[in-house]
């Protein structure tokens, strides 16, 4: 008897559960249908939004000569002489955008090419570009042409891009051995006193060579191996505020505009010597010759 | 069931005990001051004291040359900062090599090796050249492989291989890995300059050396453009710095045809890349311990450091001064006699007495 009783109870209970389940399922089914419709609507609106306003996670940085991008080792003609970029590299920091007068900092991701919101761009030896993907071991990569943003940004409403060509004083004169890449690269470092080369352009001609190294001058310290405690007399950190020309995807360095009016030869290298004519001309070009353009 | 569990637990404990009994190798301790970054080491050849010890024994052992006449140390002598005080190196067959033996100082940090090769980036690759090259012959192992290996399967070497690789048998991969580990261990970061620059000891360098340092880092002399970074060579990388420019330069030593050619028997990087602009380009070597590694330049054609300074002051040598492919940083300069002495004093402040002490290295040489 007790056994039969138990079985009946089990059956009844089971039926009740089933019934309840059926009701719940029906409700669930309906809810799911509604959700699906909602998701579909949301997705389609999101898609159209994405098409209209792409969020970018990088800004390409290209080098142009006479309105066209120059490829590695391409020969360019200046003063009827052939020249080729032997080395070109520069630091960009303090990257900002502004939208209706409101400025917003664009933090950079951290990798071999970027740290402390300072990025190194480098345009040498395209052939060695491939080795960049390697994540460990020695790297002899010499080509890197984009700013990687820590948070993707929708540039559609953004009107202006601001940045500094150079490295902030607080980061510029530190022991390079204890700094993160790219703030520890010997070829871009002068000394603790003078800090980094903010821009390095080494040009090679058929019969001559020419160089331009931008960096702070009039920095005072006990020796080349000691850091200045006060801002350098001529920081030479150049700031740019550029209106957006197109979608904001590309920042362009116009090499021809940078070198406009500068005679390139063995005697005119600009290594920030005071009164060097080529330096005066380049700094003038940097100030008012639209050397950088934001497209 | 209980007994099965007990058995199982027993088995696990036994395995754990076996694993625990085999001591994990101690991480290699680099002889570098606190704060200095460690070199990058290939993942397949991690450093260990045992490999360094085996490599040291091999480095000084003439049995590594096919005719037992020379060792690595014949051309890389500790007392000359592991370079050699002769213009050219000479191999096991007395064949004279075309280049000057390079110092082995901090090469663990090098991003390029040899005098001029953009494709040799690890010491393991480089070591194959002196071991197996047939023209010129250095150790001359090619064609004598078995014979040479047999010299290392003996009572002296078996324990060294066993400790380094858990295998007592010698083979060429193990020899290369051990040699690479030993030369990687040749780290020199304890010069008066290091104490001044990195340990902030203001009195570590003489007044003259400090004046020389100002000259070295000046735009007037431009030395530091190619001899930059903590190793005074552009060819340097470490755990936190993996990017750099190519470290090869034409210094205006030659200009055979008026348009930049170097002598046919040695044209530098051009031989590797066949790019016109690489004619006469060689790697800027480190200046650490440079006082001891005379003679200088890739072909040992300058006898003293004073000669080297004169060479750069002239902006090259003879027709080389007008070599169109010469580095833009070699424009020449004028130095007063006292300034030259100061510059020499600075270069001397890059010497690391502990590194050079033959007491350190000599012991191993007697093992032969």
If asked whether residues A46 and A79 sit together in one domain, one would say no
- A9, A145: one domain: no
Q: How would DSSP label each residue in B238-304? A: BTTB------EE--SS--TTSSSPPPTT--BTHHHH--GGGTTBEEPPP-TTGGGS-SBSTT--B-S
Clarify whether residues A64 and A46 are in a common domain: no
Q: Which of A234-243, B206-215, B322-331 has the lowest mean pLDDT?
A: B322-331
Half-sphere exposure of A118 (CA within 13 A, CB side): 21
Q: Which residues of chain B from 103 to 132 reach within 8 Å of chain A, CB to CB?
A: 111-112, 118, 121-122
Q: CB-based contacts of A42: which residues, under 8 Å, 6+ apart?
A: none
- In angstroms, what separates the C-alpha of B208 from chain A's closest C-alpha? 13
d(CA A145, CA A62): 7
Is A70 in the same domain as A165? Answer: yes
Average pLDDT, integer, range A161-173: 97
The mean pLDDT of B69-73, rounded to a whole number, is 97
- Would you call B227 an interface residue with chain A, using a CB distance cutoff of 8 Å? no
Range with lowest mean pLDDT among A128-137, A153-162, B207-216, B237-246: A128-137
Number of domains in chain A: 2
Q: Which of A52, A70, A95 is the last residue of a domain?
A: A52
- Domains of chain B, by residue range, sit at 49-188+355-365, 192-354
SS3 A56: strand
Q: What would the pLDDT profile of A170-226 be if each residue is shown by its tens digit? A: 999 999 888 999 999 888 999 999 999 999 999 888 888 899 999 999 999 999 999
The residue whose two tokens read 């590309």 is A250
Q: Is A87 on the interface with B (CB under 8 A)?
A: yes
Interface of A with B in 94-133 (CB under 8 A): 112-113, 120, 122, 124-125
Contact between chains at A140 and B121 (C-beta distance less than 8 A)? yes
Is it the case that residue A160 has pLDDT exceeding 80? yes
A55 to each of A24, A64, A103, A152, B158, how far by Cα in Å? 42, 25, 18, 5, 63
pLDDT tens digits for range A27-83: 555 655 665 555 555 554 444 444 455 788 999 999 999 999 987 778 888 888 899
Taking a contact as any Cβ pair under 8 Å apart, which residues of chain A between 4 and 63 contact chain B? none
Q: What is the least distance, in Å, from the CA of A238 to any CA of chain B?
A: 22
Domain B192-354 CATH (choose: 1.10.760.10, 1.10.3720.10, 3.30.43.10, 3.20.20.150): 1.10.760.10
B206 touches A at CB < 8 Å? no
| Same domain assignment for residues A163 and A285 | yes
Report CB contact under 8 Å: B244, A207.
no
Residue A42's pLDDT is 52
Please, what's the b/e burial string for A88-118 (b: 16 or more CB within 10 A of its CB; e: otherwise)?
bbbbbbbbbbeeeeeeeebebbeebbbbbbb
pLDDT attached to residue A124: 77
At B132-150, the pLDDT tens digits run 999 999 999 999 999 999 9
Task: Name the residue range of residue A16's domain.
Answer: 1-52
CA neighbor of B289 nearest in space, from B102, B161, B135: B102
Distance from CA of A140 to the nearest CA of B (A): 6
Q: In a 10 Å sphere around its CB, with 0-12 CB exposed, 13-18 middle and 19+ buried, how is residue B81 labelled?
A: buried
Q: Say if the Cβ atoms of A177 and B35 lie within 8 Å.
A: yes
Q: In a 10 Å sphere around its CB, with 0-12 CB exposed, 13-18 middle and 19+ buried, how is residue A277 labelled? A: middle
- Which of A185, A205, A206 has its CB closest to that of B244? A185
Residues A169 and A276 in one domain: yes
CB contact under 8 A, A225 and B243: no
Q: What is the pLDDT of residue A125?
A: 64
Asked if B324 and A206 come within 8 Å (Cβ–Cβ), the reply is yes
A70 and A214 in a single domain? The answer is yes
Q: Which of B213, B237, B328 sits opposite A211 (nearest CB)?
A: B328
Which segments of A53-63 does DSSP mark as H helices, in order?
Answer: none
The answer as to CATH 3.30.450.20 being correct for domain B49-188+355-365 is no
Among the listed residues B59, B151, B128, B116, the one whose alpha carbon sits nearest the alpha carbon of residue B367: B59
% pLDDT > 90, chain A = 56
Residues A168 and A264 placed together within one structural domain of the fold? yes
- In the DSSP assignment, the letter for residue A91 is E
Domain identity same for A12 and A135: no
Count CA atoms within 13 Å of residue B250 on its CB side: 31
Judgement on whether residues A134 and A203 belong to the same structural domain of the protein: yes
> Would you say the CATH fold of B192-354 matches that of B49-188+355-365?
yes
Residue A200 exposed, middle or buried by CB count within 10 Å (0-12, 13-18, 19+): buried
Task: Tell me the pLDDT of chain A averaged across its residues.
Answer: 82
Q: Give residue-wise pLDDT tens across range B226-275.
A: 998 899 987 788 887 777 666 899 999 999 999 999 999 999 999 999 98
- Which residue is it, tokens 């055979």? B256
Q: Do residues B115 and B99 lie in contact, with contact meaning Cβ atoms separated by under 8 Å?
A: yes
- B214 to A191: CB separation less than 8 angstroms, yes or no: no
What one-character DSSP code corresponds to residue A189?
A: E
Q: Are residues A48 and A169 in the same domain?
A: no
Select the residue of B224, B229, B324 nearest A208 (Cβ to Cβ): B324
Check if B234 contacts A (Cβ < 8 Å).
yes
User: Are residues A95 and A15 located together in one domain of the fold?
Assistant: no
What letter would DSSP give residue B35?
Answer: T
ipTM exceeds 0.95, yes or no:
no
User: Count of CB atoms within 10 A of residue B306's CB?
Assistant: 13
């Amino acid at each position: 008897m007790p056994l039969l009783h138990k079985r009946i109870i089990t059956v009844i209970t089971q039926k009740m559960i089933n019934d309840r389940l059926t009701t719940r399922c029906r409700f669930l089914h309906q809810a799911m249908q509604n959700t699906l419709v909602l998701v579909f609507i949301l997705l389609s609106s999101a898609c159209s939004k994405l098409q209209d306003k792409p969020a970018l996670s990088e800004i390409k940085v290209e080098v142009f000569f006479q309105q066209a991008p120059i490829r590695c080792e391409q020969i360019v003609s200046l003063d009827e002489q052939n020249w080729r970029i032997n080395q070109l590299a520069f630091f960009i920091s303090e990257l900002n955008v502004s939208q209706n007068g409101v400025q917003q900092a664009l933090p950079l991701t951290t990798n071999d090419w970027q740290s402390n919101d300072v990025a190194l761009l480098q345009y040498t030896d395209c052939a060695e570009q491939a080795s960049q993907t390697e994540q460990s071991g020695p790297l002899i990569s010499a080509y890197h042409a984009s700013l990687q943003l820590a948070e993707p940004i929708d540039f559609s409403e953004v009107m202006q891009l601001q940045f500094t060509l150079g490295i902030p004083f607080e980061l510029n004169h530190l022991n390079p051995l204890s700094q993160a890449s790219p703030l520890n690269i010997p070829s871009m470092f002068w000394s603790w006193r003078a800090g980094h080369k903010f821009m390095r352009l080494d040009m090679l001609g058929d019969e001559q060579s020419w160089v331009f190294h931008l960096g702070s001058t009039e920095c005072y310290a006990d020796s080349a191996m000691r850091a200045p405690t006060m801002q350098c007399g001529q920081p030479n950190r150049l700031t740019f505020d550029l209106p957006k020309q197109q979608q904001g995807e590309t920042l362009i360095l116009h090499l021809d505009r940078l070198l406009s009016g500068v005679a390139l030869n063995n005697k005119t290298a600009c290594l920030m010597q005071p009164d060097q004519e080529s330096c005066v001309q380049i700094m003038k070009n940097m100030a008012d010759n639209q050397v950088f353009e934001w497209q | 069931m209980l007994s099965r569990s007990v058995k199982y637990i027993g088995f696990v404990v036994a395995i754990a005990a076996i694993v625990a009994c085999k001591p994990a190798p101690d991480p290699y301790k680099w002889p570098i001051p606190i704060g200095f970054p460690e070199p990058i080491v290939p993942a397949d050849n991690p450093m260990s004291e045992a490999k360094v010890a085996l490599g040291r024994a091999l480095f000084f052992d003439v049995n590594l040359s096919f005719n037992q006449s020379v060792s690595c140390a014949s051309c890389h002598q500790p007392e000359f900062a592991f370079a050699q005080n002769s213009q050219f190196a000479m191999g096991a067959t007395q064949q004279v090599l075309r280049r000057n033996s390079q110092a082995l100082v901090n090469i663990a940090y090098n991003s390029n090796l040899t005098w001029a090769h953009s494709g040799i980036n690890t010491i393991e690759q480089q070591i194959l050249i002196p071991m197996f090259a047939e023209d010129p012959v250095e150790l001359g192992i090619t064609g004598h492989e078995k014979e040479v290996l047999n010299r290392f399967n003996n009572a002296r070497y078996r324990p060294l291989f066993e400790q380094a690789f858990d295998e007592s048998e010698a083979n060429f991969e193990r020899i290369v890995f051990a040699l690479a580990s030993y030369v990687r261990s040749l780290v020199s970061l304890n010069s008066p300059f290091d104490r001044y620059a990195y340990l902030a000891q203001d009195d570590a360098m003489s007044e003259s050396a400090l004046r020389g340092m100002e000259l070295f880092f000046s735009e007037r002399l431009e030395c530091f453009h190619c001899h930059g970074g903590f190793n005074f060579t552009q060819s340097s990388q470490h755990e936190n710095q993996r990017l750099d420019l190519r470290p090869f330069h034409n210094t205006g030593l030659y200009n055979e045809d008026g348009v930049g050619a170097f002598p046919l028997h040695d044209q530098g990087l051009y031989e590797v890349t066949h790019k016109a602009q690489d004619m006469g380009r060689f790697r800027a070597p480190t200046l650490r311990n440079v006082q001891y590694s005379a003679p200088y330049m890739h072909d040992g054609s300058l006898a003293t450091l004073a000669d080297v300074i004169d060479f750069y002051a002239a902006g090259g040598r003879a027709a080389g001064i007008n070599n169109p492919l010469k580095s833009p940083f070699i424009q020449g300069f004028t130095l007063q006699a006292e300034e030259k002495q100061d510059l020499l004093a600075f270069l001397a402040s890059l010497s690391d007495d502990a590194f050079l002490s033959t007491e350190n290295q000599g012991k191993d040489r007697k093992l032969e």
